[in-house]
Copies of this chain bind each other. A is one copy, B any other.
């Protein structure tokens, strides 16, 4: 076993089932995260580079060095239609690793978007291109190409473990990772959850209380809740 995964590009990765990915694309991040049992969410500092950005695809992972975007160029070659680049960094770094040129390249290679625990720039162009990007920062500061990282190794990105081929979904509510092996299961659970919510929404809109709909009054009383006039 190798000591570490730096300086490696894995070419053959197992991507999550395409049909499952397409199903997952229909649901919001909050729904999928709930459906999975509340695991796999990235930190809340990950925000869309432009309002309304949204993506769903299979992860091509990248491990970056601070102030260095060399590996994003290496990753471009590994992209297939439907992929999302997920870039972690060996340290907290807000530099602008990514801009409109790389977005143009990634799109040309089939990428659906980028999730990066670092900074990005050219956000006006990204919005104009409608190339979805979720990042920890926006920064005009460019990067060098001097130090090796890796492509398609397991990474921790914004607090979430991402394996190459996992499904990554991002929208206004955040970014969630679905392991490739349970993509279909998660899609089904999300479907079931959404169906269930429609009925609840109707009842709540009619004025029914969650207290009654979810049968909370007894447990609240047992927990000792007191009403005071």
Interface residues of chain A, those whose CB is within 8 Å of chain B, are 1, 3-12, 28-30, 33-34, 36-41, 43-44, 47, 51, 65-68, 70, 73-74, 76-77, 90-96, 99-102, 104-105, 107-109, 119, 121-124, 137-142, 144-148, 154, 156, 159-161, 171-174, 176, 181-182, 185-186, 189, 197, 200-201, 204-211, 214, 216, 219-220, 223-229
> Can you show 23 pairs from A to B with CB atoms below 8 A apart?
A4-B36, A4-B38, A6-B38, A7-B226, A11-B228, A11-B229, A44-B94, A66-B66, A67-B91, A76-B209, A77-B209, A91-B93, A91-B139, A92-B94, A100-B201, A104-B201, A105-B204, A105-B210, A122-B173, A123-B172, A138-B173, A141-B174, A145-B214
Partner of A210, one of B76, B100, B206: B76
